[in-house]
A and B are shown apart, each in its own frame.
Chain A
Amino acid sequence: MFLLYLLLLFILIGALIAVEIHNLLSSVIAVGTIGLGLCIIFLLLGAPDLAMTQLVVEILVLIILIRATLASSQPDTYKGREFLAYSSTLLFILVFGGFAFFVSKTLPPFGEPIMSLANRYILEGWQKTGATNLVAAVMLDFRSLDMLGAATVLFTAIVGTMVILRAKGRK
């Protein structure tokens, strides 16, 4: 448990550095360290499948962000503060914090989830699908429409990127 709290502190410090530093490349590398710390937290919370997926997605996002950052050549140098942005963010934080405080009284305590549906998946998951990996069984057999939606969204994003970055001559 001590390792978990240390990693949470590491993630919060990394996020503060990523937001406030002026050099763009350092900010992107700080986001990379948040992702890697999150991967180890997933491993400590008993989700190794998720840790593997989060690690490779993090590496890919880092490659793409560094490509976009190195294409330009300017740091973040806006001087001066805008009053409207700060005050609206503060208002939203107060409203959101109030709602979150009321909701947190109805959440189940940490470590004792409700599991009314997940108990059925654990008891019959292996007999009905024949798959030992329960996450794959839930993802691809009990809830496979979500996977179809995710694959279609990824396909749409890739085709959209090809259309936006098309380099043919324009009239």
Chain B
Amino acid sequence: MSGMGLIVKTITRLTAAIIFLFGSYITLTGHFDLGGGFAGGIIIAVGYILYVLAYGKSGAEIETSKRGLVLIMCLGLVLFLALALMGLGTGYFFKNFLAKGMAGEIWSAGIIPFCNLAIMLEVGAGLYLVFLNLIAFNVNIREEEE
């Protein structure tokens, strides 16, 4: 696929980092304001998708980054499971073992911010990977074999 015009490329360079920042903000304040892991992760994935759409398949260097994305996605899910199993030592599965602080602070609500972070890693990397696989797939109709 080819990229888009010069105006779109310039605006994308300016706003892709701000979209990443916004996604991280929505994830990290998910326990006292709106949002959470899923919304933040999808926003980060959409920021990267914007970059690929504006610069084209060859303009953005996407051949070298698929292995790293698979690693980040698996790391997110393993981190979520590890947080669940860590409570098993002192209590039950998924016990909230960190301290509950004051309401409205960022270091509060025990285990919930770390769970949001793990889900953000998994969802963001995974959905960007799905998009890369969809555009790299050549839809050429296979010839009939004689």
Contact = CB atoms under 8 A, between A and B. Distances in A.
Q: Do chains A and B touch in the complex (CB under 8 A)?
A: yes
Interface stretch (A23-31, A87-95, A136-144): A136-144
Contact of B94 (A145, A155, A158): A145
Contacts, number: 123
Interface string B109-146: 11110011001001100110111011111110000000
Interface string A118-148: 0000000010011111011101110011011
A154 B122 contact: yes
Contact of A67 (B46, B80, B134): B134
Contact of B32 (A57, A132, A145): A132
Query: What's the dominant secondary structure at chain A's contact region?
Result: helix
Contacts of B49: 63
Contact of B139 (A57, A63, A72, A162): A72
Interface of B: 26, 30-36, 38-39, 42-43, 45-46, 49, 73, 77, 80-81, 84, 94, 96, 100-101, 103-104, 108-112, 115-116, 119, 122-123, 126-127, 129-131, 133-139
Interface of A: 48-49, 52-53, 56-57, 59-60, 63-64, 67-68, 71-72, 126, 129-133, 135-137, 139-141, 144-145, 147-148, 151-152, 154-155, 158, 161-162, 165, 167
